[in-house]
Amino acid sequence: MKIGVYVCHCGVNISNTVDVQKVISEVSALPTVAVCRDYQYMCSDPGQEMIAKDIRELGLDRVVVAACSPRMHEPTFRGAVEAAGMNPYCFEMANIREQCSWVHEDKEQATRKAADLVKSSVARAALLEPLNSTEVPVTHAALVIGGGIAGIQTALDIANSGYPVYLVEKDPSIGGHMAQFDKTFPTLDCAACILTPKMVDVARHPNIELLTYSEVESIEGSVGNFHVRIRKKPRYVNVSLCTGCGSCATACRLVGRIPSEFDMGLGKRGAIYVPFPQAVPLRYTIDPEKCLMLKHGKCGTSPKCVDACDRDAIDFSMTEEILEVDVGAIVVATGYKEFDPTIKREYKYGTFKNVMTGLELERIFAPSGPTGGKALINGKVPKKIVFVSCVGSRDKRIGNPYCSRVCCMYIAKQAHLLKEKIPDADITVMYTDMRAFGKGYEEFYERVQKEGIKYRRGNAAEVYEEDGVLHVRAEDTLMGEPYELEADLVVLGTGLEPSDAADAIGHMLHLSRSADKFFLEAHPKLRPVDTVIDGVFLAGAAQGPKDIPDTVAQASGAASHVVNLLSKDVILAEPIVAEVNTDVCAGCRICEILCPYDAHAFDEERNVMTINKAICKGCGSCAAACPSGAIAMNHFRDSQIVAQILEVI
Amino acid sequence: MDYAFFPGCIAKNVYPGIEKATRIVFEKMNVGLHDYPYSCCPPPGVVACYDKDTWYALGARNLALSEPDNRDIMTICAGCYGTLHNVWHELQHNDAKRAYVNEHLGRIGMTYKGTSRPIHFVDLLDGMRDTITQNKEVDLDLRVAVHYGCHYLKPTTVTGENSESPMLLDEIVGLVGCKSIPFKDRLTCCGAGGGVMSGEPELSLKIMERKLKNIKKADVDCIVNICSFCHMNFDQSQKKLESFDIPVLHLNQLLGLAFGVKHKHLGLHMNLVSTRDLVKKVKGAKKGRDEE
Amino acid sequence: MDKTMDDIIREGNAYACIQCGRCTGSCPSGRECGLRTRKIIHMARVGIDVFKTEELWDCTTCFTCQERCPKEVKITDIIIELRNLAVKNSYYPSMADVPKIIIQNLYRTGNGQPLSPEVSKLRSIIGLDKEPNDIAKDKEALADFQKLLDGLPLMRWGGI
Amino acid sequence: MEQELKAHLKKLMASGDVAGIIALKSERGMAKPYLFADASELECLCLTPKYPMASVARLLLDEDGAARFAIVCRGCDERALRELAKRHQVDLDRLVIVGIPCDEEMARECACPEPFPSVVAVGTKLEQWEAEDIGAAYRAMELDEKLAFWKHQLEKCNKCYGCRNACPMCFCKDCELENALWVKHGRLPPEFPIYHMIRAFHLAGKCIACGECQRACPSDIPLMVLNTLLREDMEELFGYVSGTGADAENPLYTKEEMQ
């Protein structure tokens, strides 16, 4: 066995605390070590070349690099040894930076520990086995979950690259929250003007199959080959006959009686409805919870919608359908929901009608909204308006410690729009910190102040009512004085939380969540659109609160990763997976329960467990739990780990 | 049902009517109250603010007294409750503090185990709504302003209460025919706590004055509290401010009236703010009922 | 078990404070006087000897600030600890005479608010024992109580 | 009880519900597990000594595809069958449990937590039963005393594998105790304490306190002390008592939701 060992200084990160020369002299004495060298930056080109040269000239069997965390540079060095003709799994890394030099001060002891760590890696390296990746074919299609702006952009980008996309949206129309907005900050673009053309593009795109009013039921398989079951909920309207003329909606006995979800309950709809006039597809849907016919089996003498529809599109016998599709990649774009401020009782949301949320106010501005775009709050034009920032954000008490990132700016925008509609309005924004970080945001913040919006640092403590008038109490923290303001309207700058759909989707795909409950990306800096599950990507607010430009950018990023994957005919599957020795397996099925990825399948015929290599992530849970040692983890075999441990004890 | 009874120094030594009312009301409801040689809680505003360790030790002494009899401790003052419950809560999970307390109690032959829990009497009443209704002789038909007392509600991490929109006290006065009238800032502090009443009487009075103005606007027959210390502040401050005359009743005094107890037995005549008109109104209600 | 300024700040979670001012806005005392809870937390964090400020003694410990703090800063607890620190460093508030009397009463009778002859009379009028059945009556218990108090820090710091 | 049981089993056999009865047979003064297929053989049925009947059922069920059998079970046997079923080693649908109780003497000998099965078919179960706390003396020891105690006890081991062979819960085809990676071959006594630690860990959430291992041990190692402590830990830490019904999930084989 000829092992080459390479100790990195990491600039001075390691060599300041660890005596590299001493480590080299100790390690060189090991019988299996053929060569041991050090270098300032082992990850650099000359460093890699040093290793490659030794492999070629000395005919090394194994390589050990003692440097930083394998998370950082294992892929780098695996690539380097492979280029020099060695199997990449014959490479082993000792972490003497994060696990040694960065956490110790005593140079002598740190040096001893570094030497021990390297020696134990050498012991393990001697037992490493060459592994070969297997090829997995790729299905050239993608699934996008969520039809908001993130899903729309992702679907369009993938479809434009020539791959088929299934876009699944649980609501009757795509558009998401963006469709609810009137204007967008800081450019004051009309949201509908920039969004609706994209919605139409989606509907017309030959490569996109739009599945609205549908939910993902189950997902099986792994990167390159996912099998997805999609449940299409019955609309009770035949979409191929419906022209979206709306005669049915006007005729419905319940018209104007049911709070519209799209209008945040401020406007009313009937039992047969489209969420909003620009809906895509512009096809009607019957609400089964409300429709008299569907709930009680009768609607007067006969359902008025049926009478009104010239096309005979209404069909009460519709049932749900299950659609099964195969895709190679999945993008999760499940978006966000608005924080429900009811639990922040001091703000009296739900008690006083004139305390409303940001999203509710958004509908007031919309020309298609409940007031037709007029600034009317419960029938009156408000003159004194207070905005409260950080409601449901930066708040540990309610479990949302994060900043929601968009509230500062949507408050500025809404304050501007109110001022525009009510020039004599007295508008105050109570804020914690002003976060105007995006392009043009700071400028917009300045602009609204010039328009007469008062910004007072210090957030609202409470809202109370006296003689029918709302009052907001706060401290102006820049003056250090508590004060109170009367208000006809209090707008809560409610934050963002992951949408309800995230739970089920996350579960199906085994996605991790970060502490803020949004989906966890594979790396916060370098892999913000990937997840730890190969072939599953994130777009938009599903990954964390985002404004529209960031959402669109991430959506395109996710699309590019999908296209990158779909452009290959086969992909290589990671060989560090668990394997079952079927001669030893007793079929107790403990491993099956423990697998977080559902990679295990029981072979009833032979009474033994099998593991799908394409799904297995190599976490090792099953191997650790197997009582008879029938499961072995490639690259982390018991013998390899024991050798490593014995060397340090 | 038996409890160790912790009257607290105000109800014993300043407004004995509260102690008396409590004894009568709970006897009527068949709850046994037992006396122990309690010191005062000790007061959070003075002792805790001067030296918390002393506060823990003296509080633990009180808590330990009924441990041999396995009796939980009923308090009738938010201040006492605040002290005893906070001490109990802290000693439940702070082993170092518990050891400290026991080291000192050991000097006088006592040990603190934490087996007797302090309970505020309103929480007890919460589970006795039927008993209250059964004992009711008069529907009082009063407009009342309720006052919860900060240390009964907060900190909620210790009390587990809802500090922004509590309804318990409002519901209990409702059981005896009273209507709890909402008023501005109904949950704010009366101004007595934290040693402010004794250390800075003028500030305390300002806080109280604002509170009283809000109550006055609500046009109520009386203020009902569940804290002897707040009770004292409400009553004495009105005398000092001279522009208010809203009778102040501890909840147990109100329940006493509803249970048909004579107002003199409840010590209502000992208040600085006259309760005469209120008593007259209740008598009217009682008479009306008798005549029916 | 004396706490340093650093202990108080850390245990009270003061580093989480974002100076949003919800505490001061909620403070019933601050409406009437110069108490600014937010400022106290700020001063404590930047290393100013905040225990010397007299506003510290304006807090009624109603805990509203602590309840509403979005960052779970234990504001009221911090104020109480800072008062302890002030006492230990002999920074008594100028108006601390009455609290001292209360502490003296506590030592003498076991009650901060002792029984007066007038109230004793009132007690018997409404049918209660002239003297409450408590520590003041139980001489043995009172002696023990005084022994307990003798060994506790309050007597050291209480200025008696 | 024996006569009563024979009568009960004869009836069962006559009903045609079962293909045979798993029980002990007395032959030339020795008891051995036996599959009674004919009523006439039942004369030789015996009840003592104790025998890990669950292991017999496991092996037998492995052979035949569908047939159902009756099995004469004590409390421990039933507990063992339940745990084996949770690990897919026996199919309880294929077994008819004929429960018999242990008498006080037998129960004492094992310090059995529950010396009777859930349903007693024949005989009467002990009205009042409280097992001796065999962990008590051990728990009272100081840490260094504990170490000395086990050192002394485990040095007696001659690695006969009797404890494993007798255990009704051991069903692996390859045994980790024979893996040279953990337990060096040809060494006596086995390296302290790995051999017994592996066994103990493998029995966490599994040991049903039948006492077979200790009875099998030629060196009188108090293995049941180790097992009892383990059972206590499982109950204290996870609220799990092994041998309980199928609805009690083994906490070691469940996964927390990934967060």
Phi/psi class of residue B52: alpha, beta or left (left: φ > 0; alpha: ψ in -120 to 50)? alpha
Q: How far apart are CA C106 and CA C111, in angstroms?
A: 4
B259 Cα to chain A: minimum distance (Å): 35
DSSP C2: P
- Contact residues, chain D, for A519 at CB < 8 Å: none
Residue of C1, C92, C102, C121 to mutate for B, most B C-beta atoms under 10 A? C102
What pLDDT does residue A222 have? Answer: 87
Strand partners, A578: A633
Residues D67 and D153 in one domain: no
- Give kind and range of the element (H or E) at residue A374: none
Tell me the pLDDT tens digit for each residue of A239-260. Answer: 999 999 999 999 999 999 999 9
Other C-beta atoms closer than 10 Å to the C-beta of B201 total: 16
ipTM of the assembly? 0.78
Are the beta carbons of B184 and A345 separated by less than 8 Å?
no
D179 — contact with chain A (CB < 8 Å)? yes
Whether D143 and D106 map to the same domain: the answer is: no
C-alpha dihedral sign at A508, A514, A517, A520: negative
A380 DSSP β-pair partners = A377
What mean pLDDT comes out for the span B111-137? Answer: 97
Q: What is the Cα–Cα distance from C81 to B140, expressed in whole angstroms?
A: 45
The type of residue at A291 is C
The residue of chain A with its CA nearest to that of B185 is: A464
- Give the span between the Cα atoms of A588 and A600, in whole angstroms: 13
Cα–Cα distance measured from residue B82 to residue B163, given in angstroms and rounded to the nearest whole number: 14
Query: How far apart are alpha carbons B71 and A103 in whole angstroms?
Result: 53
Distance between CA D252 and CA D259 in Å, rounded? 18
Give the H/E segment covering residue D24.
Answer: strand D20-27
pLDDT category of residue D32 using cuts at 50, 70 and 90: very high
What pLDDT is stored for residue D129 in this prediction? Answer: 87
Asked whether the beta carbons of A570 and A138 are under 8 A apart, the reply is yes
D105/D140 same-domain check: no
Reply yes or no on whether the pLDDT at D192 is more than 70.
yes
Count up the domains in chain D and report the number.
2
User: Do residues D194 and D244 both lie within one domain?
Assistant: yes
Closest CA to A472 of A436, A428, A533: A428
The reply to whether residue A477 touches residue C38, judged by beta carbons under 8 angstroms, is: yes
Residues of chain A with CATH 3.50.50.60: 134-232+321-335+499-569, 337-497
**What is the pLDDT averaged over residues D55-79?**
88
Which of D110, D128, D154 represents a domain boundary (last residue)? D110
Of the candidates C61, C142, C154, the beta carbon closest to that of B47 is on: C154
Domain ranges of chain C: 1-92, 94-160
Query: CA of A498 to nearest chain C CA: how many angstroms apart?
Result: 20
Degrees to nearest 5, angle at CA D38 with D32 and D43: 60
D93 shares its domain with D145: no
CA A594 to chain centre: 25
Amino acid identity at B206: K
Answer yes or no: is D154 within a domain.
Answer: yes
pLDDT at A605 over 70: yes
Q: Is the pLDDT of residue D38 over 70?
A: yes
Q: How confident is the model at residue D62, as a pLDDT?
A: 76
Asked whether the beta carbons of D68 and D21 are under 8 A apart, the reply is: no
- A503-517, B4-18, D51-65: range with lowest mean pLDDT: D51-65
- The residues that bridge with B144 in the sheet, in sequence order, are B180, B222
Same domain flag for D36 and D94: yes
**Which residue from B minimizes the CA distance to A473?**
B185
Q: Which of B257, B235, B254, B255 is nearest to B246 (CA)?
A: B235
Which ranges in A145-279 belong to alpha helices (H)?
A: 149-160, 191-204, 247-251
Listing DSSP states for A324-364 in one string gives EEEESEEEE---EEE--GGG-GGG-BTTBTTEEEHHHHHHH
Q: How many CB atoms are located within 10 Å of the residue D257 CB? A: 8
| Cα dihedral A69, A74, A80, A84 sign | positive
pLDDT surpassing 60 at residue D258: no
D180 to chain A, any CB pair closer than 8 A? The answer is no
Residue D234 lies in a domain: yes
Note whether A566 and A138 are within 8 A (CB): yes
C-beta atoms of C21 and A390 within 8 A: no
| Whether residues D232 and D142 fall in one domain | yes
Model pLDDT, residue D259:
34
Residues on chain B touching C67 (C-beta within 8 angstroms): 154-156, 163-164
* Contact exists between D and A (3 or more beta carbon pairs < 8 Å): yes
Contact C26 A432 (CB under 8 A): no
- How far is residue B44's CA from residue B272's CA, in Å, rounded to a whole number? 25
Q: How far is Cα C130 from Cα C134, in angstroms, rounded to an integer? A: 12
Interface of C with B in 99-128 (CB under 8 A): 99, 102-103, 106, 110-116, 119, 122-123, 126-128
* Cross-sheet strand order for the sheet of A3-8: A33-39, A3-8, A62-67, A91-95
Tell me the C-alpha to C-alpha distance, in Å, between residue A108 and each of A18, A23, A67, A112, B184.
Answer: 8, 11, 18, 6, 69
Residue owning tokens 């990507």: A537
Class of domain A576-633: alpha beta
Which domain, by its residues, includes D170?
136-248
* pLDDT tens-digit map of C19-54: 999 999 999 999 999 999 999 999 999 999 999 999
Q: Would you call A480 an interface residue with chain C, using a CB distance cutoff of 8 Å?
A: yes
Q: Which fold has domain A134-232+321-335+499-569?
A: FAD/NAD(P)-binding domain (3.50.50)
Share of chain B above pLDDT 70, in %: 99
Which pLDDT tens digit goes with each residue over B201-257? 999 999 999 999 999 999 999 999 999 999 999 999 999 999 999 999 999 999 999
For residue B103, which phi and psi values (nearest 5 degrees)?
A: -60, -45
- Strand-pairing partners, residue B34, are B4
Q: Report the Cα D241 to chain-centroid distance in Å.
A: 14
- Measured CA to CA, the distance from residue A182 to residue A190 in angstroms comes to 6
- Residue at A320: amino acid letter: E
Pairwise CB contact (< 8 Å): A586 & D254: no
Which amino acid is located at D98 in the chain?
A: V
pLDDT for residue A72: 85
**Tokens (6 digits) for A449:** 């102040």
Q: What is the distance in angstroms between the CA of the first residue and the CA of the last residue of chain B?
A: 35
C63 and chain A in contact, CB less than 8 A: no
Q: Is-contact A635 A87, C-beta < 8 A? A: no
One domain, residues D99 and D169 = no
Type of residue found at D153: Q
Identify the closest residue of chain B to A469 by CA–CA distance: B184
Q: By three-state DSSP, how is residue D162 classified?
A: helix
D116, D71, D113: which is closest to D91 by C-alpha?
D71
Query: Does any CB of chain A come closer than 8 Å to the CB of residue C69?
Result: yes
List, as one string, the DSSP characters of A65-76: EEES-HHHHHHH
* Interface contact C16-A396, CB threshold 8 A: yes
Print burial letters for B142-168: b (CB count within 10 Å at least 16), e (below 16).
Answer: bebbbbbbbbbbbbeeebebebbebeb
| Cα gap D73→D62, rounded to integer Å | 19
DSSP letter, residue A527 = B
Class of domain A3-125 as given by CATH: alpha beta
Q: If we measure between CA atoms, which residue out of A436, A433, A434, A432 comes closest to residue A474?
A: A432
**Residue D132 CB burial class (10 angstroms; 0-12, 13-18, ≥19):** exposed
pLDDT beyond 80 at D65: no
Residues C84/B53, Cβ–Cβ less than 8 Å: no
pLDDT tens digits along A483-508: 999 999 999 999 999 999 999 999 99
In Å, how far are A96, A335, C19 from A496, measured between CA atoms? Answer: 41, 9, 22
Q: Which CATH architecture has domain A337-497?
A: 3-Layer(bba) Sandwich (3.50)
Any contact of A with C, at least 3 CB pairs below 8 A? yes
Chain B residues with beta carbon closer than 8 angstroms to that of C77: 155
| Start-end of CATH 3.30.70.20 domains in chain A | 576-633
pLDDT for C46-103, tens place per residue?
999 999 999 999 999 999 999 999 999 999 999 999 999 998 888 876 546 777 888 8
Residues A11-61: tens digit of each pLDDT: 999 999 999 999 999 999 999 999 999 999 999 999 999 999 999 999 999
Give Cβ neighbours of residue B17 (< 8 Å, ≥ 6 apart): B250, B253, B266, B267, B268, B270, B271, C126
pLDDT at B51 exceeding the cut of 60 = yes
CB B122 within 8 Å of CB B172 = yes
Q: Are residues D105 and D141 in the same domain?
A: no
Both structure tokens of A546? 């985002």
Q: Confidence band (pLDDT; 50, 70, 90) for B291?
A: low
Q: Best residue in C7, C72, C97, C111 to probe B by mutation, most B CBs within 10 Å?
A: C111
Whether C148 has a pLDDT exceeding 60, the answer reads yes
A496 in helix, strand or coil? strand
- Put simply, the chain B residues between 170 and 209 with a CB less than 8 A from any chain C CB are 185, 187-189, 191-196, 198-200, 203-204, 206-207
Give the domains, in start order, of chain B with CATH numbers.
2-121 (1.20.1050.140), 137-291 (3.40.50.11810)
| A417 touches A182 (CB < 8 A) | yes
Q: Which CATH architecture best describes the domain C1-92?
A: Orthogonal Bundle (1.10)
- Answer yes or no: is pLDDT of B292 > 60: no
* Chains D and C: 3 or more CB pairs within 8 Å of each other: no
Closest C-alpha among A539, A554, A546 to residue A334: A539
Write down which chains contact chain C via at least 3 CB pairs under 8 A: A, B
Q: How many interface pairs between A and B have CB atoms less than 8 angstroms apart? A: 7
